Structure 1
Amino acid sequence: MKKIIGYLKDYIRSEFNPWVYLTMALFLSLSIWYNYENNFLRGEIYPMRGQWKQWGAYFLFFGLPYFLTLFIDFGFRGELKKLLKPRIIAVAIFSMALLSFATFFHWHKALSHFVFEPGFRMYGLKLFWNMKRLIVILLPLFLYWKLIDREQPTFYGWTWKGANLKPYLIMLLIILPGIIWASFQPDFMRSYPSHVPGNIEKASGWAWLSVGIYELVYGADYALVELFFRGFLVIGMVKYLGKRAILPMVAIYCFLHFGKPAGETISSIFGGYLLGVIALYSRSIWGGIIVHMGLAWMMELAAWGQILFNQQ
């Protein structure tokens, strides 16, 4: 934990600018208020589902906070000229296009119908929904790393080197009692577990296997989130933006949560900031993966514990 605190102290000491942070806080606060007050994401962008213009809408949705944050951060420091490099602009556009396409991706239903028999297609729909970032983001990032970004020593932090997992496991242990308490609340059980086997899966005799496969895919999606946000947007962009790669990542990570409860969106700002700083200094994303996947799976296990306990 001391090392993580040291990372934060060093980052804040070297990068903190009151005008940048105040402007960012104002921008994100207004954006969050406008989205939830006017139901912007669900009311304006969700209805475009299945139309190619939704990809463009998502590009603007993520691109605006990303480029605006860069403008704010470099602008207040009088360094805007540093941003006017074709490579920086090209990589930023590539990353926004990739993220927006992964969010736009709507062929999970078609894939489920192609792969699964009629009775299992709802299950397949859940699987492919959680696999869309895996399908859309992983291969392009890997090819970019291998063909273009060859001087990057690791696949954007996908390495155990420099990763001390003990602090993250301690974090999870500290959080565990809160999750157990939350599992006794009705709202929690309405959301978790994410997948409960249907009658056909139970009748076929592979109910628990279906749960195991789903949970692996569910966890892998969180790993892809870390690879893109803390890996590519922080570790991969450091050579262009330096330590200032973190704030634009935090901004779009916040926007990614706009379809979720407001409290979760607000907490994503602080979580994204912390995980970004850790990735920046450790050059590993495994700490974030452990925390992200650990939280997700602990909530799933807590919900299953409630279900099994109440069945007795």
Structure 2
Amino acid sequence: MRKLRTYLVDFIQADFKPGLYGCTALFLAICIAFNYAVDLEDTYIDAYRGSWIRFVLFLGLDAFVYYTVTLLWLFFHQRLALLRTPTFWLFSGFGMIILAWWQDFTGYQPLATLPAFESVYRFAFYCLSNLSSGLTIWVPLALFYRWTDAQPSYFYGFRPDQGSLRMYGTLLLLMVPLIGWASFQPSFLETYPIYKGWGAAAALGVSEWVTALGFEACYGFDFVSTELLLRGFLVIGMAQVLGRGAVLPMVAVYACIHFGKPLGETLGSVLGGYILGILAYESRTIWGGIAIHLGVAWLMELGAFLQTYSQQRQ
């Protein structure tokens, strides 16, 4: 915990400015309130699912939020000259495009309709959906890293660091009571568990735990991809250009990708994203973030499974 405190204190002391953090908090509050008031993503953006318009809408939303917070940080830290550097626009623009492509991508749908998946369509659909980040995030980032990155030592935070893993393990333990409390909330159980079975186990002639573990592995892969893009590229990669200024804009777009989820989860993503962003920036590794993100995701699934099982027995 000492290293955790050191990371957080050092970063906040160097980065915190009341005007900056106040304006950023107000801006995010307005964005979040607007989304849930009009159901922006689910009702309007997702209405264009399968159309190029949806990609443009995601790109517009992500870029608006990201560059607004970036501009606030540059203004309050008196570093607006960075806006004139091609590297800033190259890195940030590429990040926004990949983020929007990942959010919009539906190319896995035709695969799920193949005859081989006919009896397990919905199971295959959700598994392929989670695995698709290999194409939308890993491939473009690997190519970008190979061609442009100035520090070719570790691929956007994949630097081994056992100390960070222990630190994140402590954070995960602290979140267990909160996840336990959340699992009793009706809104939580409307969303979780993500794995619904979909009759896949019976169709494949295997035990339920086999398909459940297979799905959770695919589900977990998407969280690894999330860490690579958000904390790896948008923090560690962008730190080459923005320094500490890479963290707050990442937090803003991280909140955006939660707009289709329960409000509490979106609000929690702001604090969680900020802490994970600081730790990624200070440690230059995302392994700890991967561990806690997977831990939280799977604990939420487990909590929902236990609640559902308990309700079925009553």
* Mean CA deviation greater in 42-51 or 187-196: 187-196
| Residue number in structure 2 paired with 1:275 | 276
**Aligned pairs for 1:191-270 within 5 A:** 191-206=191-206, 207-270=208-271
The residue matched to 1:23 in structure 2 has which SS?
helix
1:168, 1:223 → 2: CA distance?
15
The residue matched to 2:113 in structure 1 has which SS?
helix
- Asked if structure 2 preserves the Cα contact closer than 8 Å seen for 1:275 and 1:288, the reply is yes
* Mean CA deviation greater in 127-136 or 59-68: 127-136
Q: How far does residue 203 in structure 1 lie from its aligned partner after superposition?
A: 4.6
Change (3 A) 1:282 1:200: closer
Q: How far does residue 193 in structure 1 lie from its aligned partner after superposition?
A: 2.4
RMSD: 2.0
- Asked if structure 1 preserves the Cα contact closer than 8 Å seen for 2:251 and 2:273, the reply is yes
| Residue number in structure 2 paired with 1:112 | 112
Change (3 A) 1:200 1:252: closer
Change (3 A) 1:83 1:152: farther
Please list every run of 5 or more consecutive structure 1 residues that lacks an aligned counterpart in the other structure. none
Change (3 A) 1:177 1:125: same
- Asked if structure 1 preserves the Cα contact closer than 8 Å seen for 2:82 and 2:88, the reply is no
* Mean CA deviation greater in 109-118 or 60-69: 109-118
In structure 2, what residue type is equivalent to 1:23? C
1:13, 1:183 → 2: CA distance?
35
1:145, 1:200 → 2: CA distance?
39
Q: How far does residue 150 in structure 1 lie from its aligned partner after superposition?
A: 5.2
- Asked if structure 1 preserves the Cα contact closer than 8 Å seen for 2:120 and 2:199, the reply is no
Change (3 A) 1:197 1:245: same
In structure 2, what residue type is equivalent to 1:230? R
Kindly indicate whether residue 21 of structure 2 is the aligned counterpart of residue 21 of structure 1. yes
Q: How far does residue 152 in structure 1 lie from its aligned partner after superposition?
A: 3.1
Q: How far does residue 294 in structure 1 lie from its aligned partner after superposition?
A: 0.3
In structure 2, what residue type is equivalent to 1:243? R
2:189, 2:274 → 1: CA distance?
29
1:228, 1:115 → 2: CA distance?
33
Change (3 A) 1:177 1:91: closer
The residue matched to 2:10 in structure 1 has which SS?
helix
| Residue number in structure 2 paired with 1:45 | 45
Q: How far does residue 196 in structure 1 lie from its aligned partner after superposition?
A: 3.3
Kindly indicate whether residue 133 of structure 2 is the aligned counterpart of residue 138 of structure 1. no
- Asked if structure 1 preserves the Cα contact closer than 8 Å seen for 2:54 and 2:104, the reply is yes
Please list every run of 5 or more consecutive structure 2 residues that lacks an aligned counterpart in the other structure. none
* Mean CA deviation greater in 296-305 or 20-29: 296-305
In structure 2, what residue type is equivalent to 1:264? E
| Residue number in structure 2 paired with 1:67 | 67
- Asked if structure 2 preserves the Cα contact closer than 8 Å seen for 1:160 and 1:284, the reply is yes
2:7, 2:235 → 1: CA distance?
15
| Residue number in structure 2 paired with 1:303 | 304
Q: How far does residue 286 in structure 1 lie from its aligned partner after superposition?
A: 1.2
2:14, 2:57 → 1: CA distance?
35
| Residue number in structure 1 paired with 2:165 | 165
- Asked if structure 1 preserves the Cα contact closer than 8 Å seen for 2:157 and 2:232, the reply is yes
Q: How many residues align?
A: 312
1:200, 1:263 → 2: CA distance?
31
Q: How far does residue 221 in structure 1 lie from its aligned partner after superposition?
A: 0.8
TM-score, normalised by the number of residues in structure 1? 0.93
